[in-house]
Chain A
């Protein structure tokens, strides 16, 4: 396929449309309708429990951090608070953007707005980018949420474990959104009717950051920024770590989520922070299944999926060499074996883009 062009205005984006890739139907594992209905059933209880726990822990950790400030004894509390602010907000933003976390719509919306602010995403823009990510997962030039492009810029990936590049990109974008609405790239996936909302959200977020910065200057202390803003840097590592595993090293321009997404078994703490998005093949195949039902969905369809990675470490051990190999061989990707019980990968879908990449041995 040669050099990839990830621009929404580039030739690969155009080719994805012209070849029929964007209109092709994704593969789904078979799940009886009655079972799927049961899995899709919405409930407020699990998300209320988890949200009270999350916000309660954040309050407790922040209070301890403030009480012990500026002693180094406050550091563990800030690290814990930071992960909840800068990483758990990613999964809350994600699940609530789907509207599946709670049964009650206003609860989804409230948690979505709070999480969007903490993870530094415009709630009006990113709802649309994520819709595109699901329609056209890892279609080059079409999916605005490709975390690891080929060839990967390893230094940038590593820097982003501290959220640095995300934040450096966020603030100029925020100011531009606040002044003039969505950027040209954002206008390719955000409907025009939503553009005023993008601007209003940006103005609210910007006002909160300015107020926090003014308070910090007035108080001659970075403490206000330790509570609002900086945790997006010092607590980002967990969501970057789990996020890279979602699709890293796997295929692009295919319409079988078993080829481009990864399920990883994780420890209970990471699963709480990540809200079960470690079942990522399952989530992409059936995005209307709430996070709390994903383990059950996994049990039902796992015979049709590649073997999940046994841990985060094993996932990285599989992914990292593939990413490094893609530095030299851009078309390389991991093609994992399916169990004998699975339906074969639908290889014909690879032909939707002319010159699609060969599979790795």
Chain B
């Protein structure tokens, strides 16, 4: 799978996320409280809502529409109405660039 140059490390505040679109796909890229970067599919599995406007708390992202929660490291659905896990994607950082394997 190709690695895609997604953003700069400075584009995402600590404990926050941004939206990244590539082709027809949309992703959410996170800057965790551990300083590492993570990536998941960009929309909530409950309904078709972008997670980029949601809230990151520790290792949890909360959907802005219905407050479903996911662990963005594993994609695990942690709170209803989210029942289906998010897909996660490998991330690597080279210099100040964040790459996604999609």
Contact = CB atoms under 8 A, between A and B. Distances in A.
Contacts of B42: none
Nearest to A39: B55
Contacts of A98: 66-67
A281 interface: no
Given A40-B55, A42-B57, A127 B81 contact: yes
A206 B63 CA distance: 33
Contacts of A286: 64
Interface residues of B, number: 20
A42 B57 CA distance: 9
A288 B68 CA distance: 10
Interface string B37-74: 00000000011100001110100001111110100000
A109 to B, nearest CB: 10
A135 B83 contact: no
B55 A288 contact: yes
B42 to A, nearest CB: 14
A136 to B, nearest CB: 10
Given A127-B80, A131-B66, 14 more contacts: A34-B13, A37-B16, A37-B55, A42-B57, A98-B66, A98-B67, A99-B67, A100-B67, A103-B57, A128-B81, A131-B81, A135-B47, A287-B66, A288-B54
Nearest to A190: B81
Contacts of B65: 134-135, 287
Nearest to A189: B81
Interface in A281-312: 286-288
* Residue in B57, B64, B81 whose Cβ sees the most chain A Cβ within 10 Å: B81
A268 interface: no
Nearest to B52: A33
B62 A288 contact: yes
Interface of B: 13, 16, 46-48, 53-55, 57, 62-67, 69, 79-81, 83
Contacts, number: 45
Contact of A23 (B46, B48, B81): B48
Nearest to A103: B57
Given A105-B79, A131-B81, A36 B67 contact: no
Contact of B53 (A34, A36, A42, A99): A36
Contacts of B53: 36
Contacts of B63: 288
Main secondary structure of the interface of B (DSSP, over half): loop
17 contacts: A36-B53, A41-B55, A42-B57, A99-B62, A99-B69, A100-B67, A131-B81, A134-B65, A135-B47, A135-B65, A191-B83, A194-B80, A286-B64, A287-B64, A287-B67, A288-B63, A288-B64
A193 interface: yes
Interface string A71-104: 0000000000000000000000000001110010
Nearest to A97: B67
B67 A288 contact: yes
Contacts of B69: 99
Contacts of B13: 34
Nearest to B55: A40
Interface of A: 23, 33-34, 36-37, 40-42, 98-100, 103, 105, 127-128, 131, 134-135, 191, 193-194, 286-288
Nearest to B63: A288
A358 B55 CA distance: 38
B30 to A, nearest CB: 13
Contacts of A131: 46-47, 66, 81
B87 to A, nearest CB: 19
Contacts of B48: 23
A240 B37 CA distance: 47
A281 B99 CA distance: 39
Contacts of A287: 64-67
A127 B47 CA distance: 15
A26 to B, nearest CB: 9
A23 B43 CA distance: 14
A288 B51 CA distance: 12
A298 to B, nearest CB: 18
A23 B65 CA distance: 13
A36 B16 CA distance: 12
